[in-house]
Structures are given as C-alpha cells and as structure tokens.
Structure 1
C-alpha cells in the first residue's frame, strides 16, 4: 500500500476543480461548484464539488468521493492506475516497497515493460496515421471514402494504414529505439521460423483500440479488398497492456456520450461504431469481435445500466444478442434488442434509409427479457423450462426473481410453481457465496443496524487515521453487524484509500459521513470523547448480560482496561468454540 503521505502530497498539489472541469462544465455556486452529473443522464446541476474539502457529490446518483475517486470513476481506472497517473501529473514520486536493490528492480520490471509498451503503441499509432497520407495508401483512402467516413471521424478515432511492406513498422520502431524482441512480445511484430521479425499488420486499414486513459493499447486491421486471400480482420494478440475480453472498441471516445445519454449502444463491428458516431450516436461501442464477456460488461456498467443491443438479424446475430441479454438480465441491467432488417447492417441502414428509420427501429426494440422469451418460443417445452430454471438460478439480485418468474410463466405458458421448484433451496445453499461477492441480504445492511454500530463507523469513516483510538475503547468488539465489521476491516487495511475498495452501500455511507455535505472533520477529539461516553454506557449495560456476568465474576476490580483485556480473551475463546 502506498504511503498515505504520497496520497496527501498529490491532493495538496492537484486541485479537484481543475481535474473535474476537464470533463464537465463547472459553474460556481457560492462556496461550491455545480454541474450536471457526468455519471448519469440529467440536465439539472445536481453534481457538487467542494473545493475546500476536495470532495464531490451527486444528489442524483450518489456518486461521491475525492480527486482519486473522481479520476478513477470517470476514466474507468483502478486505484493503482489512478495513483500512477495523478502522481505523474502532480510531480510526486511513488514510493517503492522495501527490500534489496535487486528485489526492487524485479518489482519494477512489469511496470517498466507496461510503460515501454504504451510508448511503443503510441509510436505505432503515429506511424499508421502518417502512412494513411502517403501515396501507397491511395486505395485505403478510397475505401474510407467509399464507406462514407468523414475526415473528422478518421481523425477522432486515429485511423491509419499498414503498408504492404514486410518491415515498415519494424523499421520505424527500430529507429525510435525499441528492441525488436520486445516489439514481438508487444504483439506488433511477428517472428518467422528462421528468427526474422516482420510486421504483424500489412495491407490493412488500422483501427487503434484505446483504454479509458485514452492510451492506444491494441490495433484491429481490415483488408480493403475482399479478393485478398487473407482473414478479413486480424486483431492484436493479448499482451500485458491488452486483454481482448476486457476492452471495448470506442469506449474511450464514447464514455461522455454514454454518461450524457444514460445509455450505451452496443454493436459488433469497427465500421458500425464509426458510422454511429458520425451520425451523432456518440454513445456507441463495439465488442471487438468476441461474444460479450463479463469483464466487458463490468467495465460498461460503470457508466450506465441501460443498453441497446444492435446486432445483425441473421442467426449469428440473434444468438449473440440472446447470450448478451442473458448476461445483462442476470446482473439486473436493462437492455433492448434492435436487430437489423434482412440484408441490412447499421452502416447501410443509416446511409440508405436515414436516421428516422434507425430511430423507429430502436423505439420498437423489445426489452431483453421479451426478446429472450420470443426466442424460447421456438424451443420444445422441456428445453424452455430447463433454460428458465438455469437462468433464474444465476440471477445476482434476488428481488428480480418474482417479476422474472411471472413474466416467463405468463408469456411461455408455464406454471410459476414449476419455475419456482427447487429455487429456494438452491439460493439458500448458495447464499454464502453471494455474500462473499458483496450481495448481502437487506437485513444486514449497516443502515439497519444499531445506533452503536453507526456511531462507531461514522467516526471510523471520518477519521480513519484514528482507528487505534477506537480500538483502545473496545469499539471493534462492540460492532454487531457483518457489514460494519467488513467496513471496519477495509478501513483498517486501506485507511484513507478505503473508499476505492467499498461496495455501493458502503460508498453511500462513506459519502454521508464525510462527503461534500458532511460536517467538517475538525473536532476529532470531541467526537471521540462523545463516542467514548456511549461505549462506556454500552459496557455498563453489558454487565447485565451473561457474558458480562462472567467478566464481572472473574475481575471485579472496576478497572475498565483490565475488564476489556479479559473480554477480548473471552471473545477469542468463544470464537474458537464456534469455529
């Protein structure tokens, strides 16, 4: 874990307002700044930034946090990536773990390789973009013009040309100082059986693939004449900076459009994404030639829970749409399915029949469950029941069971009792696993626990650096709810950085206790004194319980510290007995 001093230094050097205004248009409102929230669809300024406290909060979607949370959420980065980028911007050196010089060198190698690869891909992207303007790219430019892609889209998405020469990119990388062996590891060059290296992409229109930090991490390449005896598309192989099943084409360019529209358009092809953006649908992304994966969906759902699936109307397109619907519905996400008419794809539909036809297609698109039901009607009754039971077992949100069962039973003419058969037992058996994934039942939420838990965790959230003071009062032992104990453990492990590791319910509490609208954190001693009084009252009351009766019988000194030591020992004994 990085030193808290490093995080503090970054916050001191970077102003949250300067960072936020890169993504939204902030307006001053008294001591705060306001704007429409970039994380959900709206026009009213429910998004507030408190410059003095370095916090943001949205009253609409409850998104909240500090400069790290904002930068992480808006760019889809994890904490380590956020820390690295903000540290570089702030001019703060990141601390390395202790150990021998050799150990530190070994630990730095993956990070060094990653940075080198990113620079290499930036060089390659510039090489391909420059090649598109050269004379031997005339056929590629003609293809781009034929597909109706304008210069603004070509520039925005950084399209390029990989010449037919075997070593054009290899020579550029060599002149730039990149080692050929490393270029092979990065997936930009291939190696022959005799050990010679050559360009992986040749004679293709190049589509750069970017991460959410707007860095090029991979390429897709398309042949420009179908007569060529090669695969129509080839893509970068997996590398330390790119895993095909985790990224989506165009998400870097579409993230603002998704936030503004509150919905993502999900399609398959590179050209389809480009065409949609050119026609004003700047919330469109592509799945990079694979079936939609849980990792891609997790990345997308960080921006929205509403989706429209745009797939071809052929058998392959319907199958892809069905599988995508299953995955989205099981996670509680909303989706509609707009299949292209026979003989049309997104590109041809928009260019030949216009935006109005495309809008009508979306307007009449069935919701995901209805689409699945229509597909299931073609199956035998036994297969339908089997699918329905498997689907219902994989729902991550138990509250969806009843409405889904009702709709499936009604439209498939099945008995609800048949669908419910065995579900209760199955969910009971798998409840511990779901809890481990954060799906705690509603009666375990911290907001429904005792006032004592709330008082303790309020202080812990507001002053995570004073957890030891709380422990000296026995606060950790007074916690009753599983959620409170989980939150305590995360604060204990991560300190000020804990909010990057919280589930949604815990984030709401974090914001409530120390967000932009919370009371100033300037009187920790007085708040601790008040909490101490409450805990003393609790322990006085506990003397009347059976456990405290044992405590009283074995001590009887009236020494609170000694009593607390005994209570800790007793608790460990009880835990061993229950283990």
Structure 2
C-alpha cells in the first residue's frame, strides 16, 4: 500500500496549482473585483452567479449552496475522485514530485511511472486506435458499429477505435513517441510474454474508458473476428495504478454533469447500451466495466448525485428480463443501502437491452424505458413471492417469511408498515400476521422493524430527543462586525498583525465564527498567517465541522467591504470595536451581579466587583477611542 503523502509536498502542490485555471476548465469565470472571480456554480442550478474564486488565497466558495474549499476539494467534488488522486493529478500538472511516508520518520520517493505518464500513454493509444478505425483493416469493426446504429459522429463522440491485428503496432508507435517499456507495461497497454512484448489488444473494437475528468485510463475491447484466438467476448485493461475496475464507470465523463443536474443516474450493462442511451437523450447512463455493480461503484455515483441524508434522487438499474437479470436485480438490492437516493429498475417487456431497443423501436422507446421505471424493492419483492405457490398454505407461509426478511431490510423505516400491508394483500394473509413476521425478521437480523417496535424502557428515540436550538444565520446583521473582522484576518493578516493579538474566543458570539477563531488561534494566530501564504487552506484542513469549513471558505473569498485597500484605521474600526462590544457585555453582566449583591453583607465581594467595573469602563473607553482613530 502506498504511504501517506508528506504534508509539505501537499502544501507545495496547493501553492503552485492555479485554482482559477483549474476551475476555468469547468466554469466560465469573470473578474468580480477585489481579487475575486465569479461564475455560475457547477454544483447547483442558478441563474445569477454566486460562485466565487479567490486565486490569492487558493479558495473557492458558492454563496448559493455553500460548497467551498481549495483546489483539491474542487476536483474531488466535481470529478468524484479521492483526496490522494486529486493531489497526484495536480502534482503531475505542477511538476511536483510527491514523497510518501512508509512509517514514522520514513520517507520514500514515489515508485514506478507517475500518473501523468500513464495517462499520456493512454491518450496517445486512444488517438492511435481511433485513427486505425478509419483504415481498411477495420471494415468489420465499422460494420459492427453500423449494424447497431452508430455512425462516425457517434464513434468520434465516444472515442471508439480499432486495435490492428499486428501484435506490435501500438508498442512500436508508443516507443516512437518516447514512452519507456516500464511505462507502457505498467499502463496495461503492452503485455510481457515468453516471446517478448506484445500489444494487449489485437484485432478488436475498442472503447476508451475515461475517468470523470475525461482522462483515458483503460480500454474495453470486443471480439469481432471469428478467428480471434481469445474466446472471451470482452477484454478489459488489467488492474493498473490508474485503472481499478471496481471504481470505474464507463460513460461517467459524459454523464457526470447531467447526473448532478437531474439528480438521476441510469446504470446499464454494456458499452453499447451507454452509447444508445446517450444518443437517445438519456444523458445520465453509465456502465460497469467487466464486473458487477458494487459498493465502490455506488460510492462513485454518490459523489455526483450529492447523495446525503436529506437527498431524494434516483438510481435506475436496467437489467435483462431473464433469470440473469433477476439475479442482477437481487444483487443490486443487496447494495441498495449504499444510497439515500431512491433505487429503481427498468426492464423492457420483450427483454431487449437499450441498444437493441433503440435499433428496433427508436430513441423514444429508450427514453420511455427509463420513464417506466418501477421501485427496485417492488420488483425484487414480486420475484421473491413469485417463487412460491400461493394456492398452498405452506407456500404462503414460506413466501411471507422471505418477503418479511426483505421488508425488514428496507432502509426507509417509515415505509415498512406500508410494505407489510402490501405483502399481506399480495400473499393473501392477515395484515397483523404480516407485521408480526416483519418484526420477527428484523429481530433475527438485528435490525429495527420500524414504527411501533418494542424498545428498552431506557431507550430514547430520535423523536423523543429535544431539538437542538437553530444556529443563527451567518449573515444576520448582529454578527456583521464579527464577519468583517474575520475576513480582515484571513485576507490581510500582515495588516491586522499585532492589533489582533488581544482578540480571543469570547469576542465572537456566533458559534461558527467562534469555531473559526479557535482554529486560527490554534494554528499560530494572525501573525502566523502573515508569514505563510498557504495559511488559509491549512486552516480549512483542520476544520472538522462542515459549517466551520464552509464558513472558512466563504470568508476567504468574500471581498472586504472597504472600497479601497484596508488601512490601519479600517482595521482599528473593526478589531477594537469588536473588543469594545465584548467589554460592554462584561460590564452589563457585572452590573447585574452588583445589583444582586448586598453591599453590607458581602462588602468584600461588592467592592471587588465595583473596582473591576471601574477598570472595565476605563478599558471600554480606551477601546472606543482606538476604534474611532484617537491616539
């Protein structure tokens, strides 16, 4: 397993990466003044731009949906990749060599070819294969595509190519382009055998498999010649440093934006099915690459669906209507808990897959197939019950037991009772009997049966817990001074400098702003920011609370209210005024305590508080003078 990337290398990549250039490849940005740029947010629909990028502080933030962060966060969110891959991708672009820690105190250089070279080799291979598709040797490949309704434009859109039957054509080409033997073998493009090196794909029609950013990372190759010595219908790129079949979805590069926009993903079974769906107007279609849909695939989709506890999107699986299709549906239902989104299944009555359906009935039939989706749960339930003879008493008992196990595993417990009534009606048993069996199934599986379950006397349900008080809006005018002061600290730490030394947590009354200040103080205070240009992103890295993290990115990109570069007077008007308000709160509290204290019975305590009050009043007046600009 690769070791952890060193923090200083991550910081160097972040510093060298131009976040405005990275974002500009996805979003049209325009100058917004104050060193900020803005455009339409790629993470939610909007008509007026609320998405801001501040290159000087390496941050982006959307004031509409509150997404924000640094260049790594942006790539992770928009391309659905992990943090390590985001760092590696930007390291390739910025020329930073990443060092990894194998253990405490141990540092090693990255072994093997860098990701950028492997991606470059695939890009060159894809162009080579696409060019070969137009040659005389690829006639059978072109006929295969034509018979399935795919013309040259479709082939160009999906980057389809042809691997020449000459077993060394690609290897020779890549060698001429300067790629080493280690690079082409590690990439999975060239194999090593007893007789030397050979092209992994020969005489096959090829689909480039791309990651979410559009980089080609592998290929799927279909058998089209009867004399192909390899009997397998499809061959895929083997596991490589950049290609993990359990984490790859074919078509995700084309579908990701439409998935995010429509909150819908359609999972089909093959490359031609993806093509057929997209060409028919179903732009959310993706497919696995030579493996069943699994947990890792679900995690990839979730990133684009923005699948979270409040979200209700759709994941639609298409399966053949045969036994294999039913088995695939059951397997998909087993992974249903990976999604908060609602899961559905779309099966064509005649058993046609989307590609064949488009050929026979046209584009509209493909769109209608998706529109006729039914809940995956209901499809699986009908298959479960259908295996039993409901005319027999023992058949009804067995069907009820298996259906109850299915119902008890449903994620949305608010629907369990309705499903129990549904299986009672379908099987022909009493509703109370169905409910009781569901409860027993839940108990056997260690899962709650839903509303009405018996719990321990000391068990407190979510509904019984007192609701947490709502957090005030960050833009509430009451907190405007706190917001502007934190912006000054983050934008101009050198200017704020020593004037903010006496600020502390008590100066911030909003819990989120207080948490922001706590992180600032923990990371060395304002003076640390003056000496470290990568300070702001590092602060956000240490924010574990999503609200604090979002606030940090928002404050980092939001312009200062001053029409000109903030000077000492502007800093004084905020920093010292904020401290004055804190002093006033302490004075109010002290006066209240004095009023409740008997000066005769508690003379010592009363005199101490009175002296403290006088000192506080003097301190408040001094702060007021400083805030007003008096020397």
Give TM-score scaled by structure 1 length: 0.71
CA separation in 2, counterparts of 1:195 and 1:267?
39
* TM-score of the aligned structures, taking structure 2 as reference length: 0.66
Aligned residue runs from structure 1 range 304-453, under 5 A: 304=305, 305-378=313-386, 380-389=399-408, 391-392=409-410, 395=411, 400-401=412-413, 403-413=414-424, 414-415=434-435, 418=439, 421=443, 423=447, 447=471
Aligned residues: 515
CA displacement at 1:128 relative to structure 2: 1.5
1:162 equivalent to 2:163? Answer yes
The structure-2 alpha-carbon separation of the partners of 1:93 and 1:133, relative to structure 1 and needing over 3 Å to count, comes to closer
What is the rounded CA distance, in whole Å, between the counterparts of 2:466 and 2:88 in structure 1? 37
2:4 aligns with: none
What is the 5 A alignment of 1:475-490? 475=505
Alpha-carbon distance in 2 for matches of 1:167, 1:405? 60
- Partner residue, 1:23: 26
Cα displacement string for residues 294-333 of structure 1 (whole angstroms, at most 9, x for unaligned residues): 2222222222243222222222223223333443455311
What does 1:464-483 correspond to in 2, within 5 Å?
475=505
Closer/same/farther in 2, CA of residues 165 and 50 from structure 1, 3 Å limit: closer
How far 1:199 moved relative to its partner?
1.9
Question: Partner residue of 2:604?
Answer: none
1:446–1:490 Cα change, 3 Å = farther
The aligned counterpart of 1:45 is 47
Is the 8 Å Cα contact of residues 76 and 212 (structure 1) preserved in structure 2? yes
SS in 1 for 2:362: helix
Q: CA deviation at 1:234?
A: 0.9
Map 1:10-159 to 2 at 5 A: 10-11=17-18, 16=20, 20=23, 22-24=25-27, 37-40=41-44, 42=45, 44-45=46-47, 47-50=49-52, 55-57=60-62, 59=64, 61-65=65-69, 69-79=73-83, 81-82=85-86, 94=96, 106-110=108-112, 112-159=113-160
State how 1:215-230 maps to structure 2 within 5 Å: 215-225=215-225, 228=228, 230=231
Q: Closer, same or farther in 2 for the Cα pair 1:169/1:337, shift >3 Å?
A: same
* Counterpart residue number, 1:198: 198
What is the deviation of 1:148? 1.6
- How far off its partner does 1:94 sit? 4.0
Residue in structure 2 matched with residue 496 of structure 1 by the alignment: 537
Query: For residues 258 and 230 of structure 1, what CA distance do their matches in structure 2 show?
Result: 36
Contact 2:60 2:553 in 1 (8 A): no
Aligned-partner Cα distance in 2 for 1:526–1:363:
60
- Whether 1:273 and 2:284 are equivalent positions in the alignment is no
Q: CA deviation at 1:80?
A: 5.0
Task: Please name the residue that 1:233 is paired with.
Answer: 234
Asked if the contact 2:163–2:203 (Cα under 8 Å) also holds between the matched residues in 1, the reply is yes
1:174–1:454: structure 2 CA closer, same or farther, 3 Å change rule? same
Q: Which moved more, 1:138-147 or 1:496-505?
A: 496-505
- Contact in 2 for aligned 1:162/1:204 (Cα 8 Å): yes
SS at match of 2:374: coil
Over 3 Å counting, the alpha-carbon distance change for 1:293 and 1:510 in structure 2 is farther
Say whether the 8 Å CA contact 2:68–2:554 is kept in structure 1. Answer: no
Evaluate the alpha carbon distance shift between residue 197 and residue 66 of structure 1 in structure 2; reply closer, same or farther with a 3 A threshold: closer
The reply on whether 1:296 has 2:300 as its aligned counterpart is no
**Aligned mates of 1:140, 1:130 — CA distance in 2:** 13
Aligned-residue offset at 1:490: 11
Matches within 5 A, 1:474-553: 475=505, 496-497=537-538, 499=540, 508-510=550-552, 516=558
What are the Cα deviations for residues 177-197 of structure 1, in whole angstroms up to 9, with x where unaligned? 3333443332222222x3622
Residues 177-196 of structure 1: pairs in structure 2 closer than 5 A: 177-192=178-193, 194=194, 196=196
Conserved 8 A contact 2:223-2:233: yes
Q: Which residue matches 1:209? A: 209
Partners of 2:89 and 2:288 in 1: CA distance:
27
Structure-2 change in CA distance of 1:223 and 1:505 (3 Å):
farther
Residue 168 of structure 1: how far off its partner (Å): 2.0
Q: Deviations over 1:221-280 (max 9, x none)?
A: 100146756100011111111111111001112223323433222111011111222223
How far the C-alpha of 1:337 sits from its partner, in A, is 1.2
Alpha-carbon distance in structure 1 between the residues aligned to 2:255 and 2:14: 30
**Structure 1 residues 50 and 122: CA distance shift in structure 2, 3 A:** closer
Answer whether contact 1:308 1:335 (CA < 8 A) is retained.
Answer: yes
For 1:132 and 1:93, the matched residues in 2 are separated by: 34
Unaligned runs of 5+ in 1: 430-440, 545-555, 560-579
* Residue aligning to 1:565: none
Residues of 2 paired with 1:164 and 1:356: CA distance? 38
**Could you say which residue in structure 2 is the equivalent of 1:254?**
255
Structure with bigger gyration radius: 2
Change (3 A) 1:443 1:186: farther
Find the aligned partners of 2:168 and 2:206 in 1 and give their Cα distance: 16
Closer, same or farther: CA 531–375 of 1 in aligned 2, 3 Å: farther
Residue 105 of structure 1 and its aligned partner are, at CA, apart by 9.5
Question: Counterpart of 1:567?
Answer: none
Query: CA offset at residue 36 of structure 1?
Result: 5.8
SS in 2 for 1:415: helix
- Contact 2:317–2:346 (CA<8 Å) still a contact in 1? yes
**1:341 shift after superposition:** 2.5
What's the secondary structure of 2:282's corresponding residue?
coil
Deviations for 1:363-391, whole angstroms, at most 9, x for unmatched residues? 321123333433343463323333444x3
